[in-house]
């Protein structure tokens, strides 16, 4: 029985796929000035320093996956994905330190709207969120259109063969999820352009941001209407956790602001905090549920 179960388990080649995607991501960026200055100041020749910084995304992504697989051995699937998430966050921070990713996108936007002001910290986070959403939306879309081969290409852990199957109805769900994720990414990028553009050129990017944000909301509604009771419960639980956390955090921030220890909140900062906490909460709830199903012997 055990041998039959093991024979049905397959291992994808997600490590190779994600390493290739990291290399492509690196090609869109240019070295961060501070990181490059730090390496050259330490005596590293500039050409080698640039090569090292461009290799950073591949090293960090591969390292995060390998360490996650090592630490996740013998643990539930939900806990393994929590470990992957933690290492992935560190890898993302390291990539942001080493490279200015998608460096040509603001320059392309500047050709359409005119010169852009220097990005603030919140603007940078908007660009990061936009890049993340568009990339993730593209990966989800690959599953929608590619089916099982795409799932195998992205699969990191060993899994039951039947878990790699993507039925026609599921492809529709992945397609809507891809559309919702890409459009919110475009909305974030357009909002960043609107914040950095001259006052006379802000209307067009903000209108684009509104249109794509509403398109994303519509796609999410379509997803919600097709969810079963269990899926809806996971979404509600994730938003409940994030709502409780953000309510408490906002109260603490208000108290600190009254004492003069915290600045006033920017609406973009509130939006980014909402998205970040909601993503973490819903991912945690979903991963815990997947781990529970795997523990009781159901396909995860």
Residue-wise pLDDT for 4-19, tens only, equals: 445 566 666 778 888 8
Query: What residue spans define the domains of the chain?
Result: 1-101, 125-224, 227-300
Report whether pLDDT(289) > 60: no
pLDDT at 260 over 70: yes
How confident is the model at residue 293, as a pLDDT?
41
pLDDT for 10: 63
**pLDDT-wise least confident of 64-73, 101-110, 221-230, 253-262:** 101-110
pLDDT at 231: 75
pLDDT at 186: 92
Q: Quick one: pLDDT at residue 298? A: 42
Look at residue 68 and tell me whether its pLDDT is greater than 90.
no
**How far apart are the C-alpha atoms of 208 and 158, rounded to whole Å?**
42
The angle, 0 to 180 degrees and rounded to 10, between the axes of the packed helices 121-146 and 77-98 is 130
State the pLDDT at residue 159.
Answer: 65
**284 has a pLDDT exceeding 80:** no
The Cα 232–Cα 218 span in angstroms is 16
Distance CA 140, CA 124 (A): 24
| Least confident span in 24-28, 141-145, 152-156 | 152-156
The pLDDT of residue 88: 82
Q: What are 162-211's pLDDT values in tens digits?
A: 666 667 667 788 888 899 999 999 999 999 989 988 888 889 899 999 99
Q: Which of 117-121, 146-150, 278-282 has the highest mean pLDDT?
A: 117-121
């Amino acid at each position: 029985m055990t041998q039959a179960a093991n024979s049905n388990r397959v291992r994808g080649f997600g490590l190779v796929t994600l390493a290739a995607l990291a290399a492509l991501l690196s090609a869109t960026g240019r070295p961060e000035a501070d990181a490059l200055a730090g390496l050259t100041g330490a005596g590293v020749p500039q050409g080698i320093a640039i090569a090292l910084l461009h290799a950073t995304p591949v090293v960090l992504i591969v390292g995060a996956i390998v360490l996650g697989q090592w630490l996740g051995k013998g643990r539930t699937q939900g806990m393994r994905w929590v470990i992957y998430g933690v290492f992935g966050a560190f890898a993302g921070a390291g990539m942001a330190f080493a490279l200015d990713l998608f460096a040509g996108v603001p320059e392309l936007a500047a050709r359409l709207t005119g010169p852009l002001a220097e990005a603030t910290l919140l603007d940078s986070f908007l660009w990061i969120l936009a890049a993340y959403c568009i990339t993730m939306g593209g990966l989800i879309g690959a599953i929608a259109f590619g089916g099982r081969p795409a799932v195998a290409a992205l699969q990191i852990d060993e899994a039951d063969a039947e878990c790699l199957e993507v039925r026609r109805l599921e492809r529709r769900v992945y397609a809507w999820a891809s559309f919702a994720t890409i459009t919110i990414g475009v909305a974030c990028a357009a909002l960043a352009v609107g914040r950095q553009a001259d006052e006379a050129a802000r209307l067009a990017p903000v209108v684009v941001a509104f249109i794509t944000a509403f398109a994303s909301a519509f796609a999410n509604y379509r997803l919600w209407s097709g969810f079963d009771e269990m899926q809806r419960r996971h979404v509600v639980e994730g938003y409940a956790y994030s709502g409780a956390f953000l309510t408490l955090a906002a109260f603490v921030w208000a108290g600190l602001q009254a004492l003069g220890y915290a600045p006033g909140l920017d609406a973009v900062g509130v939006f980014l905090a909402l998205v970040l906490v909601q993503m973490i909460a819903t991912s945690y709830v979903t991963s815990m549920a997947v781990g529970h199903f795997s523990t009781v012997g159901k396909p995860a």
